[in-house]
Amino acid sequence: MVSRTSRRHPPMALPRLLRTAVSAEKVLQMTGTHRGPSFSITLAVSLAVAFGIGTGSSRPNAQAAVHVLRVVVLGDSGASGSGDPTGLAWGGRYGRLLRRKLGAKVVVTNLAREGKSSTVQLDELHSDPVTRTAVTNADIILFGSTAGANLNEADAKLAAKACKGESCYASALRAWARDYGRIVSTAVALRGTRKTVLRGVTEPNVVPGAQGVMPPFATVELGLFQAKLIKQTVCATMVAHRGRCIDVLAAFNGPSGKRDAYKSGLLNKIDCCYASGKGQQLIAELLLKTGVKPSN
């Protein structure tokens, strides 16, 4: 839809692509949020139980007092901080929330890079020492979609009229879905039996409100179709590994998936079409609300 040097694409058809997708009920369970004034206390207790982390008051366990919560972010430009004037990205903002709200000692390692494809991300998990070490030592792993490069290829085919509409994205998203599942399973394998929090961040519909800066073939319906499929893949994969996904589509575009997220300030049309600072902060808050229950 949009050049993925700017923003990742909304996805495409593939009714068969996601036979592994969870039911709507399970997706709702995985994207649910905590409510109520006791949330910070509940989250703090969860941190202490899961990782032995003290949260600001007296700490009877000296070892718990020095524990550092390590957060690793994997992904492409949408997770790297593009569109965020602070450069923190949603991963850095999430780490800041953990520090401020819970008094936890947090180190965020953001390995997301613009243009990084799902294939490259998977290769790095298999062979790059920096990536492997960071993931092996991570208490919390945040997965961006890494769908951008695959969708750029589909964009090019659609623009060249080599295919029509949603069918242009079938093979691209099949390849991405396979890679994404392997990315998560490889990261889980690197952690072994250690307690790990797994979170997958989905995509918004970037088309509503940006038609003037996008090519003519970028329709609201196609954007919604792609974003829904990315959500299904991410959430199904998180369910399979007992993690949780963040429903960015609903948070940015409303129940219909067609609301203008530029008008609400959640997407950045100047640096199109990434989440703005406000949007990145919302994603960080949604991550925090999922709690910190490990997947194992």
Q: What is the pLDDT of residues 83-139, one digit of tens each?
A: 999 999 999 999 999 999 888 899 999 999 999 999 999 999 999 999 999 999 999
Residue 60: pLDDT above 50? no
Q: Which of 48-62, 210-224, 239-253 has the highest mean pLDDT?
A: 239-253
CATH code assigned to 24-289: 3.40.50.1110
DSSP reduced 3-state for 12:
coil
Q: Hey, what are 208's tokens? A: 């509503």
Q: What is the pLDDT of residue 55?
A: 43
DSSP E strands: which ranges in the chain? 69-74, 106-110, 140-143, 197-201, 244-246, 267-268, 274-275
Q: Picking from 51-55, 185-189, 262-266, 269-273, which range would have the lowest pLDDT averaged per residue?
A: 51-55
Residue with the larger pLDDT of the pair 272 and 65: 272
pLDDT score, position 172: 84
* Token output for 68: 């550092």
pLDDT of 21-32, one tens digit each? 333 333 333 444
Q: What is the pLDDT of residue 52?
A: 56
What predicted TM-score, i.e. pTM, was given to this entire model? Answer: 0.82
Structure-block tokens of residue 153: 């290829």
Mean pLDDT for the chain overall: 83
Provide the pLDDT for residue 53: 54
The owner of tokens 């974003």 is 227
Nearest to 145 by CA among 264, 232, 230, 205: 230
Residue (of 148, 154, 179, 152) closest to 167 by Cα position: 154
Q: Phi first, then psi: give them for residue 142, nearest 5 degrees.
A: -110, 125
Cβ atoms of 176 and 150 within 8 Å: the answer is yes
**262 has a pLDDT exceeding 70:** yes
Write down the domain spans for the chain: 24-289
Q: How far apart are alpha carbons 128 and 150 in whole angstroms?
A: 21
Asked whether the predicted pLDDT for residue 20 surpasses 50, the reply is no
Q: How high is the pLDDT of residue 240?
A: 97
Please give the pLDDT value at position 48. Answer: 54
